[in-house]
Amino acid sequence: MRNTVLTVIMLLLVVPTWAQRRKKKDKEEKVPVYNYLIDDPMDKFGRQQYSVPVWNFYLLPEFFNFMQQRLGDTIIRYDAYDIDSKKLGVDTLKDYTRLRFLSKVYQYVDHVNKYKDSNGVWQPLPIERIMYRYDKAGTDLWMTVDYHTNKSETVREYPNEITKSDSITITDPVTGGEFMNVYRYYKVAPVK
């Protein structure tokens, strides 16, 4: 009698668990399965590096800098424009012969003058000021305007005389290959 009671209790505990497992398995089997063929070489071969690093060379006038600079709380950047006065991305520009206008912009915060933002909080006033303007005046000439002193002059390019160079190495996150951009700056002198 005792064995039968134990058997019945065991069955009462096991049968609902078994039924739930079976029900869950039936639901899983009813989910449609789609077999897609993915033709991605990364799946088959993994990450492939370039055997030779890619080098890009750029020749620029010495007054220009492709990267933003920081002096204290002031950011110095260049805004570049083509012949149609369309803004060019300085950090992504590949053909620097398309440059027709350059503006050296100082960006800083004026802590004396403030404004109320959309939340009603007083914020320091952000300022952007063009300090220098460079206009292409000929094949090897630039007209420069210093807005601080309100003076202008014409400068001539000497592309065969390199004064400095910068380089940046960029690693491609997908392939792991390295790209190096080399920026060479040539001499620019006032026309007398």
In DSSP terms, 184 is beta-bridged to 59, 165
Greater confidence (108 vs 9) lies with 108
Its sign, for the CA torsion 161, 136, 80, 87, is negative
Residue 46 falls in which region: left (phi positive, over 0), alpha (psi -120 to 50) or beta? left
Residues 150-159 have pLDDT tens digits of: 999 999 999 8
Residues 29-62 have pLDDT tens digits of: 665 666 655 555 555 555 555 555 678 888 888 8
Q: Do 186 and 162 form a contact (C-beta atoms < 8 A)?
A: yes
Statement: residue 69 has pLDDT above 80: yes
pLDDT of residue 6: 63
Q: Which two tokens stand for residue 32?
A: 């449609």
pLDDT of residue 9: 67
The CA dihedral of 111, 116, 120, 124, to the nearest 10 degrees, is -20
Q: pTM for this one? A: 0.62
CA–CA separation, 132 and 104 (whole Å):
5
pLDDT of residue 40: 57
Residues 123-135 have pLDDT tens digits of: 999 999 999 999 9
Phi, psi (degrees; rounded to nearest 5) at 49: -95, 155
Comparing 39-53, 107-121, 133-147, 167-181, which segment has the lowest mean pLDDT? Answer: 39-53
3-state helix, strand and coil shares in percent for the chain, rounded to the nearest 5 = 20, 50, 35
Strand ranges for 87-192 from DSSP E: 87-88, 101-116, 122-136, 141-146, 151-171, 178-190
Give the confidence band of 97 by pLDDT, cuts at 50, 70, 90.
confident
pLDDT of residue 52: 59
CA–CA separation, 80 and 104 (whole Å):
9
Q: Where do the domains of the chain lie?
A: 54-190
What proportion of the chain, given as a percentage, has pLDDT over 90? 27
Residues 11-32 have pLDDT tens digits of: 566 656 656 776 666 665 665 6
pLDDT of residue 29: 60
